[in-house]
Structure 1
Amino acid sequence: MEEQLQQIFNSKYKNKTLYNHFCELHYQMQENKYYNAKNLADFEDLSNFIKENRFYHVALKSADEVNNLKDQAFPWQEYCAKLMQLMQFKAKQINANIQNFLKLNTLLNIVGYGVHDEDAYVIQQCLKQIAQRDPNISSVRFWGKILAQQKDYFVIEVTLNKQIKEPQPPDCDEKLNEYVHYVTQDLLEDWALLPQVTRNQMEASRYITYIFSGNLNKNITQYPYFEGKEKHLLKAQILRITHANLLAPRGLYKYEDETKTIGFEEEFKMPESTELATMDAWVHLPAYILKQGRITFYEDPSLKEEELNQMKESDPEQERLKSIKDDKPFEQNDGNWLIKIFGETQQYTGNSDDQQPLSYQVVLLRNFLWPGAVTVSNTNEYISVYFGYGLKNQQHSFNPLAPKDVQEDPEDIDEVPEPNPREQPDELEPDSDDERRREQERREAELQQQQE
């Protein structure tokens, strides 16, 4: 205890120990005749007054230290330096298909989901940098933004050439990790590659409600147990959102049954604006993720054929390029998507009969099940993005039950006198011989107990 007190007294603040401070307090209290401490608050005021008006001597720096001082860099100077470095980036020959986010951001701004023009330009430059990292990249697009507690995650989605296949986890479907994602918390910093996820991680992510902290290496302490860190859960949620909300106009892609792949339709024309505002004009581009955490059904050899058939019936594989009209309706809505039209709905015809009518309206498709997943399009182009916490909308609407009907008052009961007579009868009924005998025996027993 004495050693700890000695350490406290010897602790320094601007070359003054606590012991010196107490000495100054005692001196001021003794010499200042006008000071009269009545309570602890007055003592604290004097202590603060001494601290604020004390002279702290700081030794002067030498000539070498003064001449070699570095210029102080303000935060805005560092930001401008990083921004200039990104603007001066010149991409080499890139074979990948890079999304023109700078142009598509105008569609997002019309419906209220866009970003600032400066951030859009920075994102466009980041897409070029990501596309130049690997020659096997076939396409790059801005996926969206995952909101977190500390810092949000910006996400970029990349698809690789089909000839190049990365090693997959042993219990995972190779088609599940078809999309590669890069994340960052600052657009001017480096991008981190998210790891691949396993089947067990995808299966466990369905039962976890977790708000991301902003630390990729944080352990997940949730129930059920999640085998991995926050970066694995982030990748799992991004894949779930992508496979459920990435849309494409009907007819843009075609599915080949022989190779079981999807390719572009050469003779495709973008539908008219009136057709884009219907659910029949949109299909799901990625495959459906089963409850197993895979794209294709895994037949466990340890299970019997009857059990496998029951599992297939409860979790069937969905057809590719399925229309969003066939999605399960969300609560009392007609479907799982909300369609809204922005801008002018008037159509203008061209000079020739073959020319498609010109329209300036913008169509918004917003998902009910995944709040923040939207698809915006016009007659020339479309974009799918996500801005949210990465959580599924599992909250059902609150419909309280109506109170029961007020019942009528019951009929009054007729009042009758009590069964006991209000007046004592004049003559009492005499006791019987048996009652007198039992009373006599009781009294004799009580008298005998008292004598004993």
Structure 2
Amino acid sequence: MSEEPVSEALDPRELQIHNAKAFLLQADKSGVSLYEHLSALLSRILSERPPNALESLHELSSELMWARMRPGPDKLRTPRENPEIYRKAEIQKGLFTRGAGEEEESEREGEMTESPLPNLLDLAHFVQQGGLNLGQDESVRIALALKHLVDAHPLQYCRFWGKMLGTQGNYVVAEVQFREGEDEEAEEDAEEEEKPQEEEPEEDEAEEAEDLPPKSTYRPPPEVPREESGTGANKYVYFVCTEAGSEWVRLPPVTPAQINAARKIKRLFTGNLDAPVITYPPFPGTEANLLRAQIARISAGTHVSPLGYYQFSEEEGEEEEDTGARDKYEENPEFEGVPVAELVESLSNWVHHVQHILPQGRCVWVNMAAKSEEQLEEEEGEEEEKEEEEETEPEVGPPLLTPLSEDAEINQTPPWTASLSSSLIPQYAVAVLRSNLWPGAYTIASPKKFVNIYIGWGTKYSPEGYSPPAPPAPQAEYPSGPEISEGTDPTVEEEQALKAAQEEAAAAAEEMEEEEEEEEEDEDD
């Protein structure tokens, strides 16, 4: 007995269902069929029972599709770990932990004394209104890092200066000031400078004088001394860290030679303080010294405040007022504020409150010619030359609290750009002052509050492409004169004429001697 075909055994309705199911079971390139997708979608709807199942049908279907497209972890291989993530997590872990007893001590200190720790979260919110966003997570980490810095050192002032970007790592910069008499490192540096240098024993010049080569008379120019801690370019101390949570490193004080060398070069930071600075002209120091020099230059050129916020201290004498070397100022308790509209309209409502760095590399000029004269007095035969030398003119820069309207332009480009943070709601906007000379330097101000911050690469704007300066002209090895200059050889005729002239002169001299002897004999007779 032969078997009947399926199509004849099934009912027409069952056959339609069978064909429809076979159609739905057809898999696409990904290996998933529409039947499986609809089954999973209905199973999820029945398990979750959303209130609006029809409206969320398309969203649930898309989520299932994306879930299938994401490859899951390979069960046969161990998942790849990123060591950089664990390294950062280990560094930042210390920011959110406290030791035993630290909570009670911090509460007592907060009740008894005022902390120099700035409110960085409020600062980040204020800066964000001006268009700069540090990010909420990074703001919290930097605030906790500053707290660790304040707890570790006896500080009376602490401020978040900004962020210096680098090719391999960035620098978070903190500007601090120690309590009076508690900066041990500054005192040690001052003691080392005061120590007299040990003189080398002089060798006997009489021994073997003929065999010694001639001594050079070249005397290098005297080195310009750096400004003392707490004054000029070294008024504040700066700590940096490559990442919030890592160890704070104190930058060394800056010298005039480093500032002048930084003015002639352009170099991006790498994120390594010990990296050598290979440039021309050569820079005297490592990346830590270059970073400190750029911080001093940026602070001197971009730290500004609204007119009237600061005033000169009354403790300064009349001599400082006459010479214009006033460097002490204080907050004006009677400051009533400057409207935001006036801050944007005119640069005369802004002033510099950091001393200008002179071409010498210092904020206060020092006469190096006087020091060189004292050294030359020990030598003989140079007093007349010193009297003939003209006196050097002292370098003078713009005084403190000079309006920004007096700043020089850069190739017909204004050095500053002022704007409102929002033109749609001007009554609640803040004034944003951006430096065109140092890109990345901003000052954000409300009528009675302002903030200076820098987030950039640490390079100055130049209208033309950078080209290193040409090397200096070679110095003369010896003075040129006829006694050491090489002459042309005389001809035979010139030599014979010279010889005849010398013989005639000798014969004339003998005749004169004979005549003088005869005259003496006549006188004796």
What TM-score, normalized by structure 2, do the two folds share? Answer: 0.55
The one-letter code matched in structure 2 to 1:173 is: E
Q: Which residue of the partner structure matches residue 208 of structure 1?
A: 265
Give, in whole Å, the separation in 1 of the partners of 2:241 and 2:85: 20
CA 316–74 in structure 1, closer or farther in 2 if over 3 Å, else same: closer
Aligned-pair distance for 1:133?
2.2
CA 161–322 in structure 1, closer or farther in 2 if over 3 Å, else same: farther
Q: Which residue of the partner structure matches residue 113 of structure 1?
A: 132
Q: Which residue of the partner structure matches residue 376 of structure 1?
A: 444
CA 82–234 in structure 1, closer or farther in 2 if over 3 Å, else same: closer
**2:290 is the alignment partner of 1:233:** yes
Map 1:43-442 onto structure 2 (within 5 A).
76=85, 79-80=88-89, 82-89=91-98, 91=106, 92-93=109-110, 95-135=114-154, 137-161=155-179, 166-167=186-187, 171-174=225-228, 175=231, 176-256=233-313, 257-258=316-317, 260=326, 261-277=328-344, 278-300=346-368, 301=370, 302=372, 307-310=390-393, 312=394, 315-333=395-413, 335-343=414-422, 359-396=427-464
SS where residue 288 of structure 1 aligns?
A: coil
Deviations 1:177-214 (Å, cap 9, x if unpaired)?
11111111111211111111222112211111111122
Task: List alignment gaps of at least 5 residues for structure 2.
Answer: 1-80, 194-224, 321-325, 374-385, 466-525
CA 229–273 in structure 1, closer or farther in 2 if over 3 Å, else same: same
Say whether the 8 Å CA contact 1:104–1:382 is kept in structure 2. no
Moved more, 217-226 or 81-90: 81-90
Give, in whole Å, the separation in 2 of the partners of 1:75 and 1:309: 57
Aligned positions, number: 311
Give, in whole Å, the separation in 1 of the partners of 2:152 and 2:299: 23
- Structure number with higher helix proportion: 2
The one-letter code matched in structure 2 to 1:212 is: F
Q: Which residue of the partner structure matches residue 61 of structure 1?
A: none
Give, in whole Å, the separation in 2 of the partners of 1:336 and 1:206: 18
Say whether the 8 Å CA contact 2:127–2:133 is kept in structure 1. yes
Q: Which residue of the partner structure matches residue 10 of structure 2?
A: none
Give, in whole Å, the separation in 1 of the partners of 2:350 and 2:293: 25
Moved more, 151-160 or 93-102: 93-102
4+ residue runs of structure 1 moved beyond 6 angstroms?
Answer: 303-306
Aligned-pair distance for 1:274?
1.6
Give, in whole Å, the separation in 2 of the partners of 1:232 and 1:222: 14
SS where residue 97 of structure 1 aligns?
A: coil
Moved more, 383-392 or 272-281: 272-281
Say whether the 8 Å CA contact 1:296–1:317 is kept in structure 2. no
CA 381–87 in structure 1, closer or farther in 2 if over 3 Å, else same: farther
Task: List alignment gaps of at least 5 residues for structure 1.
Answer: 1-71, 348-358, 398-452
Give, in whole Å, the separation in 1 of the partners of 2:390 and 2:459: 32
Aligned-pair distance for 1:82?
4.7
Q: Which residue of the partner structure matches residue 26 of structure 1?
A: none
Q: Which residue of the partner structure matches residue 19 of structure 1?
A: none
The one-letter code matched in structure 1 to 2:336 is: K
Give, in whole Å, the separation in 1 of the partners of 2:276 and 2:182: 32
Aligned-pair distance for 1:346?
5.8
Give the share of equivalent positions with the same residue, in percent.
28
What TM-score, normalized by structure 1, do the two folds share? Answer: 0.63
Give, in whole Å, the separation in 1 of the partners of 2:456 and 2:146: 21
CA 234–79 in structure 1, closer or farther in 2 if over 3 Å, else same: closer
SS where residue 268 of structure 1 aligns?
A: coil
Give, in whole Å, the separation in 1 of the partners of 2:89 and 2:396: 53
CA 323–151 in structure 1, closer or farther in 2 if over 3 Å, else same: same
